[in-house]
A and B are shown apart, each in its own frame.
Chain A
Amino acid sequence: MTSATLPAVRTGKPSSIRVGRILLYVVLTVGAILMITPFVWMLLSAFKSDLEIAKFGWLPGELRWHNFVEAMRTAPFLRYFRNSLFIAVGETAFTLAVCTTAGYALAKLPLRGSKTLLNYFILLLLVPFQIILVPLFLIVKSIPLFGGNNILGQGGIGWLNSWWGLIIPLGAAPLFTFLARQFYVTVPNELAQAARVDGLGEFGIFWRIMTPLIKPALITICVFQIEAAWNGFLWPLMITTSDSMRPLQLGLAIFSQNSAEIQWPYLMAGTALATLPMIVLFVFAQKRFVEGMANVGIKG
C-alpha cells in the first residue's frame, strides 16, 4: 500500500506518474468508502420495515420516518438528547472558565515555579480517567453538604446522580489548560505592557486584551470538549441511577442491551440521533478539529 501511495512528483516517466496518481485515488477512495459505509448502512436501516430488516439488503422500500417517532416512543431519546446537550454545554462553559484563566497565568504572568506548574499539568494530562475511576467515584460520593452529606462528606450520596457530578469532575481537563497556554504564549507581551501603561488592571488585560486574541484556540477547546462530553459513557454509567439524568450514549447502550429481540430499525434511528449532531459539528468546524489535533500532536 505504501509504495502505491507514494507516486513520483518530479522523477520518473510521465506515464508512471499518471498510473501512480490513479492508484492513489483508487486506494484513498476505497478507504473513504470503508469509513462511510457503516453510517450509510445505519441510516438506510433506520428506514426499514421489520420484514426488510430480516433479510440482507441495502435500500428500504420507502422512507419510514415514523420509525424515528416510534424509536422515541420506546425510549425517551429526546430527553436523553436534552440531557447530553445540557452536560455538553455546562462542561464546556466550566472548562473555558477554568482552563483559559490557568493557561493565561502559566503563559504570561511571572509566577515563581511556573515551569514546574506547567510540567505538573503536562504530567496530569497523561493520567487516563480509567486509572482513577474507583477513587473518583468515592470522592464525588463524599462531596460535603451535597446530596444529604454532612460537612465531612458522610451520610449521603454527594454528587452522585446529580448534574454537578456529571459535569464538574470530568470538565477542565489538564489537556485544555495546556492547549490554552500554548496559544497565549504566542500573543506578544508588548500588548499587555501597553495596556498596563494605560492603567488597565491584570484581570482586564486577561479578559479584554489577551483572550480575544486567542479566539481560534477557544473554539478548538469548545469543539473538543463538546465532543468529549457528548460521547462520554463510562462516567455517566457509574454515577447515574435515574433515567431522568441519563445522557444519550448511556440511553442508547441500555436500549441496545435490554431485550433478546432488538428492534434494529428503531435502534438505528436512535443511533442516528446520537451520531448526526457530532458529524454536523465536525463538518462545520473541521478546520478547528484539525488545527487542534495538530497543535496537541505537533507542538505538544
Chain B
Amino acid sequence: MSTTLERPALATPRKVAPAKDSRKLIRSQVRAGWVLLSPALLHSGIFIVIPVVAVLVLSLTDYSFGDTWAWVGFGNYSDLFRDVDFQASLWHTVLYALVVIPISMAISLAVAIGLNQKIKGLGFFRTAFYIPTVTATVAVATIWLWIYNPGSGLANGFLSLFGFAPNRWLADPATALPSLMVVGIWQGLGTKIIIYLAALQGVSRDLLESAELDGANRWQKFLNVTWPAIGPVQFFVLITSIVGTFQVFDLVYVMTQGGPGSETRVLVMDIYQNAFQDLKLGYASAETVIMMVVIALFIGVGRLIQKADAND
C-alpha cells in the first residue's frame, strides 16, 4: 500500500510561469482545488469520520433510540464479556477468518502462478474464477443453500456418486460452519487471483533470468525472486481478506441465520441483532469497537509475519 505514498507529490506545478500574474494563477488554482475537493471532504466527514467518532462515544452509553440515555462507562464492555452470544460470535468469526484467509490465499496464488505460464485461454479461466466474485453474496448464498439442500441438492448428489451417505450440511452443527467456509473461500478467489496475477506479471524478468543463469531451479527462483517481489501485494491481499472475512454477514443471514443453535453466529450478525432488533445501540457500538480492535490485532500480526518473512 505504500508505493504511491512515497512518490513525490505532483501537487505543485513543476514550471512556475515566469510572468507577474503567476501568483494570481496559483491562487485561482488553489481556490478551484478547494471547491473541487469540498464535496468529498464534506461527504466523508459526515458519513465516515463522524460515525467513527460516534461509535466510540455511543459504546459508553446505554442509548436505545429513546429520549433518555445515560453514560455507563465501560459497562457495555464488561457485559459483553459475559454474553454467551457475543462469545460464540467472536469465536466463530475468528475461526472463519483463520480458516478462510490462508486457504483462499494459497489457492489463489497457486492458480495465479498457473495462469501466469503463458497458457492458452487465459481470458476464459480468468472469467471463470472471477464470476463468483462479481455475483452478489445474497445470490451466491441462495444458490449454495440449494446446493446444500439435504433432500435433492447437488452436494449430496455428488457424494452419492462415490457411495457416501447424504449429509445434512447446514443443519448439522458439526458441518454448518465448515460449509459456510467453503462458500466463502469459493467466492473470494477471483479478486485475489487477479491481484496476484498482476503482481506476478510485474516481477522483474531480468532478475528471474539472472537467477536462472546462476543455476537456480524453478523452486529456488520462486523462493528467492518471485516470493520477495510479491511481498507488498501479499500484505495488501492479507489486509483486504482480514477486513472482508470479519464482515461476513450476507452469507450467514441467507444460509443459516446463525443456526443451528448459534453454531454459525458471527459478529456482524450479532451486532445487527443487538442494534436493530433489540435496539441496544450503545451495546452494539461497544461490540463494533471490539471488532475494530480484533481486526487491528489481526493486521498487526500479519505485519509481523510479513516483516519476519522479509528479513529471512
Cβ contact within 8 Å between B143 and A38? yes
B179 located at the interface, meaning its Cβ lies under 8 Å from any Cβ of chain A in the complex: no
Q: Once the chains are docked, how many angstroms separate the CA of A149 from the CA of B143?
A: 41
Rounded to whole angstroms, the CA-CA distance of A252 and B28 in the bound complex is: 51
Are the CB atoms of A98 and B39 closer together than 8 Å?
Answer: yes
Contact residues in A for B54 (Cβ distance below 8 Å): 132, 135, 138-139
From B28, B111, B149, B254, give the contact of A31 (CB < 8 A).
B111
Given A98-B43, A111-B30; A106-B110 close (CB under 8 Å): no
Could you say which interface size class chain A belongs to?
A: 35 or more
Taking CB atoms, residues of chain B closer than 8 Å to A114 are 9, 11, 33
Type the 1/0 row for A113-134, where 1 means its CB is closer than 8 Å to any CB of B. Answer: 0110111111010111111111
- Which parts of A242-268 form the interface with B (CB within 8 Å)? 248-250, 252-253, 256-257, 264, 267-268
Q: Is A151 an interface residue (CB 8 A)?
A: no
- Chain A residue, CB-CB nearest to B26: A110
- Distance of A172 from chain B, by nearest CB (Å): 5
**Which residues of A lie under 8 Å from residue B170 when comparing CB positions?**
none
**What is the CA–CA distance of A227 and B114 in the complex, to the nearest angstrom?**
27
When A35-B128, A45-B146 are in contact, do A134 and B249 touch as well, CB less than 8 Å? Answer: no
One of A9, A134, A201 near B117 (C-beta < 8 A): A9
CA distance A231 to B138 in the complex (A): 8
A-B contact pairs, 29 of them (CB 8 A): A32-B128, A53-B152, A98-B40, A105-B34, A107-B10, A109-B11, A109-B30, A111-B34, A115-B11, A118-B9, A126-B239, A128-B243, A130-B249, A135-B54, A135-B285, A136-B47, A137-B276, A171-B43, A172-B40, A193-B13, A197-B17, A234-B249, A234-B268, A249-B138, A257-B254, A274-B138, A278-B135, A279-B135, A286-B126
Residues in chain A within 8 A of chain B (CB atoms): 1-3, 5-11, 24-25, 27-28, 31-32, 34-39, 41-42, 45, 53-57, 97-99, 101-102, 104-112, 114-115, 117-122, 124, 126-139, 168-169, 171-172, 174, 177, 182, 185, 189, 192-193, 196-197, 201-203, 206, 227, 230-231, 233-234, 238, 248-250, 252-253, 256-257, 264, 267-268, 271, 274-275, 278-279, 281-283, 286, 289-290, 293-294, 296-300
